[in-house]
Structure 1
Amino acid sequence: MVSRRGFLKSGGLALLGVGLLGGIPGFLAEAAASEKILSPYKKKKTLVCIFQRGAMDGLMAVTPFTDDYLKAARPNLFMSAARSGAGNPLIDLDGRFGLHPAMKAFEPMFREKRLGIVHGIGSPNNTRSHFDAQDYMESGTPFNKGTSSGWLNRAVGLLGHDALTPFTAVSMTSAMPRSFYGDNPSVAISNLQDFAIQMRGNPTGANMAAKSFEDLYDQTASGLLKQTGKESFEAMKMLQKTDIKNYAPANGAVYPNSALGNSLKQIAQLIKMDVGLEVAFAESNGWDTHFNQGTENGIFARNVADLSNSMMALWTDLGTYQDDVTVMTMTEFGRTVHQNGTGGTDHGRASCNFILGNDVNGGLVYGDVKPLAIENLEDGRDLAVTTDFRSVFSAVADKHLEINNDHILFPDWKGDRVNVMRG
């Protein structure tokens, strides 16, 4: 007898794969309505990952403001934590590191020890290509271009459930991200209101997706596919009945009117609908700050304000669901220590990331950031990578989702985890 989970992995959810534009087709809605209404899926732990595409300048987001080498390297970009004169200073976190003032929304979470920061994080592969670095980070195999699956897809496969829902793994993007490539079911939803869903799976799933919905539904007359269809229909009915457009965030949460803000608002809706969401993915773009990066104002300040305000709107909106959610950011690499001639920074190596949650061992800046003298810089120009991204991603995923299998999650990695999670 084929297990339900095994069936799902072989493409059973490909019935969602044709792209449902403008709502669920009438025949499918009718079929769903004819099924016995199931109780909502049990509330589950959810990991929300945000990829900052373009490479965030970690030295500006979380600045080692006591470092005179950095001050000399960035005469027009260095920011101080001193509360004197005009302008907004860095938010002093611990006497050494300062949070960019545009990220003031993060300060209460850091003080309450629910926000952790890892500095000097990056890939052991020293590529400065956006495409390659993102690919390595999302596959979780920084020295293997041939890995077919993404690390978040492998995480889904390690969840240990016999029955996954169509919304176990959701990316709020128009196309499936590299992190979700693989055999385990995942969906990319560009907009819940339009219910535009794309699927990417194995060849069996792709072949099934090519068939008509009517042909697929004809196969649900008996057995495992019918049961899987009932669960899928129930999840879709919950979306169909929900007034997505007029969703009112709870607890006074206000999301930025941005792509990221909209994505996280929709993730909050899915979490609170109890449709079984366990891994969510969103993107934040525009971090490639070669020109006119700015300090307390400018491109970078707008980006970090959007990131922190969007994350905190999600957190506020979740309310009683906060215990079940951890949010983690990632970016492919950092920026050069020295500013360039156009008021920006170029492709570098290490950056920093943020982990938010009630099970986070927060209130600390983790990592080994040495004085930024030239002898301590990677290739004589960059903040050195002293924390492998897998040591953080593994700690967060394993502790929060309780999957605990690094051999599958990150093949060929045998490092130690960073103690960013409680317990």
Structure 2
Amino acid sequence: MYTRRAFLKSSGLGLLGIGLMGGVPTFVAEAVAREKNNPLYSKRRVIVCIFQRGAMDGLMAVSPFEDVYFREARPTLFMDVVQKASENPLIDLDGRFGLHPSMKAFERVFRDKRLAIVHGIGSPNTTRSHFDAQDYMESGTPFQKNTSSGWLNRAVGLLGHDNIRTPFSAVSVTPALPRSLYGEEEALAISDLKTFKIQGNTALVNQNAKSFEDLYDKATNDLLRDTGKESFEAMKLLQSNLAKHYKPANNAVYPNSGLGNSLKQIAQLIKMDVGLEVAFTESNGWDTHFNQGKETGIFARNVGDLSNAIMAFWNDIEAYQDDVLVMTMTEFGRTVHQNGTNGTDHGRASCNFILGNHVDGGKVHGIVDALAKENLEDGRDLPVTTDFRTVFSEVADKHLRIKNKNELFPDWNGEGMGVLR
């Protein structure tokens, strides 16, 4: 069947650069009321994925503070739960692991057992190339470079309701579509709703949406024409009356950062009930080779922004929390030993955070053995003891109710680890 995606590809055009910097206006309530009998615009389960690009130091985010080998490996970067002069201590999570003090925003949901941490997570592929590792993780095929689709795009295709999917089922709040959402299923890259526009590489690139809509009108295939009109109606819905500023619920205050603004936009899409099910955004700047810092510095700023942005989002969507799950990911971790420039180099395993009302929270899942040299991968790195597909597959299964894990993650037959209840 000739799909709209095929039409877009053959015409050399794509939908890019949509975004939500402003606010959701009062028209939303009217739109929802108008569409309340339309199954296209209904409340659904949503997964929000945040890619921390650059490789987060999981051992600094969630530190095994009782490990004497770790203390020795980081003479100027090691942090403790004991208060020292002019230093903020780690937040003791369980007597073994401590949360970085800049991530204090996470403490409440961890104690409430709604935040789970998986340590020792990573890819079975040992590459230390940022580009390759990100590509493998986003495709979900860590030993195949030629995979044409991303795991989140495949997840959209396995949701099981093609007849009621909306143009906003899968949205990435990024300047361009990420590798995770490449594939045959519809997905949009959004950066600013106010500049919702069409870009491409043909002479039509400078024409407005109406001109492109005319192409759909001329299509002879009924499905192509109807789905095209549906997308443009959705565009009009999102563009209408965007002058008013969005006011987050519960007085949630988002950081004035790229991640904060992206999550605020995702919260707006969730509340608009436009059929969002898979959302993606990213956080940059995690490649901390130099002057990583401890309770202050680049790493502290990054983890503070991450946790504060996620918690602002979580508070903002309080009425939707039962249906929303947030999961972070990063391509690999950092070396156990600090380097000569007070930073850390490319390593292997890291940790990730999973927030939701149905997670097995208040725990640090996974296996992290004593960081003695003989226990380290290549004598230098935290070993990967949890394949990222173990967690991603379980999230897809238990939260999105996708059962076909072999299609979602080809060549992998592992089981979940109980991160979700």
Taking structure 2 as the reference length, the TM-score comes to: 0.89
The CA deviation at 1:298 is 0.2
Q: Give the equivalent residue in structure 1 for 2:30.
A: none
Aligned equivalents of 1:192 and 1:357: distance in 2?
27
Q: Give the equivalent residue in structure 1 for 2:351.
A: 352
> In structure 2, do the counterparts of structure 1 residues 413 and 299 end up closer, same or farther at CA, with 3 Å as the change threshold?
same
Q: Give the equivalent residue in structure 2 for 1:50.
A: 50
Q: Give the equivalent residue in structure 2 for 1:68.
A: 68
Q: Structure 1: give runs of 5+ residues left out of the alignment.
A: 24-36, 201-208
Q: Aligned letter for 1:255?
A: Y
Q: Give the equivalent residue in structure 1 for 2:292.
A: 293
Aligned equivalents of 2:115 and 2:241: distance in 1?
32
After TM superposition, list the pairs within 5 Å mapping 1:300-379 onto structure 2: 300-379=299-378
The CA deviation at 1:9 is 5.8
* Structure 2 residue 170 is matched with structure 1 residue 169: yes
Contact 1:188/1:198 (8 A) holds in 2: no
SS of the equivalent of 1:156 reads: helix
The CA deviation at 1:225 is 3.1
After TM superposition, list the pairs within 5 Å mapping 1:192-231 onto structure 2: 192-196=193-197, 213-219=212-218, 223-231=222-230
The CA deviation at 1:245 is 5.9
After TM superposition, list the pairs within 5 Å mapping 1:21-420 onto structure 2: 38-39=35-36, 41-161=41-161, 162-196=163-197, 213-219=212-218, 223-243=222-242, 246-420=245-419
1:17 to 14, 21, 25: 14
Contact 1:63/1:97 (8 A) holds in 2: yes
Q: Structure 2: give runs of 5+ residues left out of the alignment.
A: 21-33, 202-207
Aligned equivalents of 2:370 and 2:78: distance in 1?
15
Aligned equivalents of 2:257 and 2:148: distance in 1?
32
Aligned equivalents of 2:19 and 2:256: distance in 1?
23
The CA deviation at 1:242 is 4.8
Aligned equivalents of 2:280 and 2:226: distance in 1?
27
Aligned equivalents of 2:17 and 2:57: distance in 1?
38
Q: Aligned letter for 1:17?
A: G
Aligned equivalents of 1:330 and 1:234: distance in 2?
34
Give the percent of matched residue pairs that are identical in Structure 1 and Structure 2. Answer: 70
Aligned equivalents of 2:9 and 2:315: distance in 1?
33
Contact 2:16/2:177 (8 A) holds in 1: no
The CA deviation at 1:215 is 4.0
Aligned equivalents of 2:230 and 2:276: distance in 1?
13
Aligned equivalents of 2:353 and 2:18: distance in 1?
35
Q: Aligned letter for 1:115?
A: L
The CA deviation at 1:197 is 5.9
The CA deviation at 1:228 is 1.9
Aligned equivalents of 1:187 and 1:352: distance in 2?
28
1:134-162 alpha-carbon deviations (Å, 9 max, x no partner): 01000100011111111001001101112
Aligned equivalents of 1:252 and 1:404: distance in 2?
38
Q: Aligned letter for 2:153?
A: N
Aligned equivalents of 2:65 and 2:15: distance in 1?
51
SS of the equivalent of 1:17 reads: strand
SS of the equivalent of 2:193 reads: coil
Aligned equivalents of 1:74 and 1:22: distance in 2?
42
Q: Larger deviation: 401-410 or 224-233?
A: 224-233
Contact 2:15/2:197 (8 A) holds in 1: no
Contact 2:19/2:173 (8 A) holds in 1: no
Aligned equivalents of 2:48 and 2:321: distance in 1?
12
Q: Aligned letter for 2:177?
A: M
Contact 1:14/1:199 (8 A) holds in 2: no
Aligned residue pair count: 398
Aligned equivalents of 2:185 and 2:19: distance in 1?
26
Aligned equivalents of 2:258 and 2:88: distance in 1?
26
> In structure 2, do the counterparts of structure 1 residues 136 and 18 end up closer, same or farther at CA, with 3 Å as the change threshold?
closer
Aligned equivalents of 1:193 and 1:117: distance in 2?
36
Aligned equivalents of 1:43 and 1:110: distance in 2?
26
> In structure 2, do the counterparts of structure 1 residues 265 and 197 end up closer, same or farther at CA, with 3 Å as the change threshold?
farther
Contact 1:18/1:210 (8 A) holds in 2: no
SS of the equivalent of 2:413 reads: coil
Q: Give the equivalent residue in structure 2 for 1:32.
A: none
